[in-house]
Chain A
């Protein structure tokens, strides 16, 4: 073989090796190491708190183990991080502890990606019911959320006053408004400003639509599936669910809300009302300081008067492949202890996952955040734990979107019947 032939062969071999190099990576850690994968970057607020926490764990734990964190930032919809988990599943190279989005608990538990925590983690009564609900699959706890999230109705105080609304008359978590009272407010504002007054994020065709709109269904007494997650027909298309979707459709049909909201409309004084979550508090306080706002809780169905609010967060889970369940359990217990969760919630401006942290934070945060924390711990409900959650969520999202195209979908009952059937096909 001549010189050229040799060099080409060399080059190709190098290419081949380079391409395969990543496959051999082994995440099975050393005997005194517990590996953790998290879905945010080290520079993020969460990452900084995490780095501190792990440092403290490594210094104080009496098992002699060292936790090693790998930061794998996710893209908007969870992309990058979950791809890595999926790849690790095929090569059997998962770490000992992973973070997972709450609604993934059922799928991960059912596929034995993660294992029940009860034997290794002492689960305190202090956790909010929604956190336990979110992490429970087949009566066993598989994941523990390390924060909470919630949604409320942001209102622009001067804009409401200008339209003649007494701020004292606004609802509280203990004394919420019914849908009818809420509609009266919208009617007043709509008449005064002569344009849509509430941004509900209808243009965000993603998980948001299930997350934020399912509480209306629950408040009415409807549901997405039965309790076992085996039936949707008869639940998602029940009279109660239909009422909730009628309420949602009416908001668009009457022109109170819009499916094409102005981006950052509330932040710039375009809309007096905005349905959004705790992350908006942070945004407003940091970047739109001249907006004087408050938050009111979800309105409730007039039939039940029951306030239900959305919850959900990322959580810790222990992989089934771990060879160090004791140590991994100790780490999860440490990371979800009161002090760590307090640091995480304060550092990241998110809602707390434990009642004691909630009580502590209530004294330290502003009034809007207080409403969200109070609503969360008193009325929060977790999303359903279903193996095929992505498909079910999509059917729900489509139901919301389709109901807002009111001209084509006057018959809500028929719409929900077809969606219930779709959901039913994805339950097993």
Chain B
């Protein structure tokens, strides 16, 4: 959205410079601008705006997947029943648990890794590739691999724990541990991506600033706190926002690893929406869940920007 607005703004700027008269050149240039916009508008429209508007509409109907022709408008009934939906509430609690833990863990790990591989030493490339490789693997593959490692009776992880005298853990089959395991796996899988963005941010910090601080007698730690972190703030904001939105969309890991179990301890809203819509065929109700949950994510993103992003408008 933001980028589109930006382009429009650029366009008006152009018009003002040329004066207000709608002469031939400015019309042509405007048209060219709109033409550039058209492909993305079409794609966004087809796959984002239209579906969003449709789910808004479906959320007010009793659309049952097998009887699309009998769909009736039922007003806010879906929203009334979702307010008392225990499973939806449970899934919201679960995803918050996920978000609260994954944000510091994943972003912290990414920053740490970026700082480690930033300095060009021997073998840095190897580490960069190693840290980044989980990102390019499909989430489904990663989840299945971890399923094997985490198998309570025959998995590698328990074997290792036991050689150190730690009793075997139930991991994904325990309602108390399953979500933390998913948090760990997700952070492991995702951190490489944020590492790369942090790395780009780090390399944008001019070397002179560090040199100046060294002359002033700053040690490495003081440089990190007073130079690196503040100068990474715009990058951090981007990372925090995208990680937050991604975290709220958690679905593949529980779908593959636990099917939302045990005892619904890893049921997430997106998984619940998928299940309601496509397994239970209640498209109307699933749309209402989507609208509700989408609204919640938007609100949280705005709140987060208010907190983290206030002084980064430079």
Quick check: is B36 within 8 A (CB to CB) of the other chain? yes
Quick check: is A108 within 8 A (CB to CB) of the other chain? yes
Q: Mark B28-58, 1 if CB is under 8 A from A, else 0.
A: 1001100110110011001000000000000
Q: A89-B66, A107-B66 are in contact. Are A388 and B280 (CB under 8 A)?
A: yes
Q: Can you report 30 residue pairs joining A to B where beta carbons are below 8 Å apart? A: A1-B28, A1-B31, A2-B32, A4-B32, A5-B31, A5-B35, A8-B35, A9-B38, A12-B38, A15-B39, A15-B42, A15-B43, A16-B42, A19-B43, A86-B66, A89-B66, A110-B66, A111-B66, A113-B66, A203-B173, A205-B259, A206-B259, A260-B152, A260-B173, A262-B151, A263-B148, A263-B154, A390-B280, A398-B264, A401-B262
Quick check: is A90 within 8 A (CB to CB) of the other chain? yes
Residues of A within 8 A of B134 (CB): none
Chain B nearest Cβ from A88, distance in angstroms? 11
Contact across chains for A5 and B32 when beta carbons are under 8 A apart: yes
Q: How many A-B residue pairs have CB under 8 A?
A: 81
Chain A nearest Cβ from B2, distance in angstroms? 22
Residue of A nearest to B259 (CB): A205
Contact across chains for A263 and B151 when beta carbons are under 8 A apart: yes
Residues of B within 8 A of A272 (CB): none
A410–B38 CA distance with the chains assembled, in angstroms: 63
CB-contact partner of A8 in B36, B46, B154, B170, under 8 A: B36
Contact across chains for A86 and B261 when beta carbons are under 8 A apart: no
Chain B nearest Cβ from A425, distance in angstroms? 10
Residues of B within 8 A of A113 (CB): 66
A377–B223 CA distance with the chains assembled, in angstroms: 78
CB-contact partner of B261 in A11, A205, A260, A262, under 8 A: A205
Q: Mark B256-296, 1 if CB is under 8 A from A, else 0.
A: 00110111100000000000001111000000000000000
Q: A108-B66, A405-B263 are in contact. Are A12 and B281 (CB under 8 A)?
A: no
Quick check: is A258 within 8 A (CB to CB) of the other chain? yes
Q: Of residues 5 to 22 in B, which have CB atoms within 8 Å of A's CB atoms? A: none
Quick check: is A152 within 8 A (CB to CB) of the other chain? no
Question: In which size bucket is the chain A interface?
Answer: 35 or more
Q: A5-B32, A107-B66 are in contact. Are A405 and B280 (CB under 8 A)?
A: no
Interface residue ranges, B against A (CB under 8 Å): 28, 31-32, 35-36, 38-39, 42-43, 46, 64-68, 148, 151-154, 170, 173, 175, 258-259, 261-264, 278-281
Quick check: is A391 within 8 A (CB to CB) of the other chain? yes
- Known pairs A203-B173, A390-B280 / 20 extra A-B pairs, C-beta < 8 Å: A5-B31, A9-B38, A12-B38, A12-B39, A12-B42, A15-B39, A15-B42, A16-B42, A19-B43, A19-B46, A86-B66, A89-B65, A107-B66, A107-B281, A111-B64, A205-B259, A205-B261, A260-B152, A262-B151, A390-B279
Residues of A within 8 A of B64 (CB): 111
Chain A nearest Cβ from B267, distance in angstroms? 11
Residue of B nearest to A393 (CB): B279
Contact across chains for B32 and A11 when beta carbons are under 8 A apart: no
Residue of A nearest to B64 (CB): A111
Residues of B within 8 A of A90 (CB): 68
Interchain residue pairs A-B with the least CB separation, the first 9? A111-B66, A260-B152, A8-B35, A262-B154, A12-B38, A111-B67, A205-B259, A262-B153, A5-B35
A83–B65 CA distance with the chains assembled, in angstroms: 10
Q: Mark A1-23, 1 if CB is under 8 A from B, else 0.
A: 11011001101100110010000
A265–B175 CA distance with the chains assembled, in angstroms: 24
Quick check: is A173 within 8 A (CB to CB) of the other chain? no
Residues of B within 8 A of A405 (CB): 175, 262-263
A408–B263 CA distance with the chains assembled, in angstroms: 11
Residue of B nearest to A204 (CB): B259
A167–B128 CA distance with the chains assembled, in angstroms: 60
Contact across chains for B281 and A390 when beta carbons are under 8 A apart: yes
Residues of B within 8 A of A402 (CB): 263
Q: Of residues 1 to 55 in A, which have CB atoms within 8 Å of B's CB atoms? A: 1-2, 4-5, 8-9, 11-12, 15-16, 19
Residue of A nearest to B171 (CB): A260
Residue of B nearest to A92 (CB): B69
Q: Of residues 146 to 187 in A, which have CB atoms within 8 Å of B's CB atoms? A: none
Q: A203-B173, A260-B173 are in contact. Are A391 and B280 (CB under 8 A)?
A: yes
Contact across chains for A8 and B262 when beta carbons are under 8 A apart: no
Identify which of A19, A260, A262 gathers the most chain B CB atoms within 10 Å of its CB: A260
Contact across chains for A260 and B68 when beta carbons are under 8 A apart: no
Q: Mark A253-267, 1 if CB is under 8 A from B, else 0.
A: 000001111110100
Residue of A nearest to B262 (CB): A401
Contact across chains for B279 and A261 when beta carbons are under 8 A apart: no
A405–B175 CA distance with the chains assembled, in angstroms: 10
Residues of A within 8 A of B66 (CB): 86, 89, 107-108, 110-111, 113
CB-contact partner of B35 in A9, A110, A258, A260, under 8 A: A9
A12–B43 CA distance with the chains assembled, in angstroms: 9
Residues of B within 8 A of A89 (CB): 65-66, 68
A89–B67 CA distance with the chains assembled, in angstroms: 8
Residues of A within 8 A of B148 (CB): 263
Residue of A nearest to B158 (CB): A260
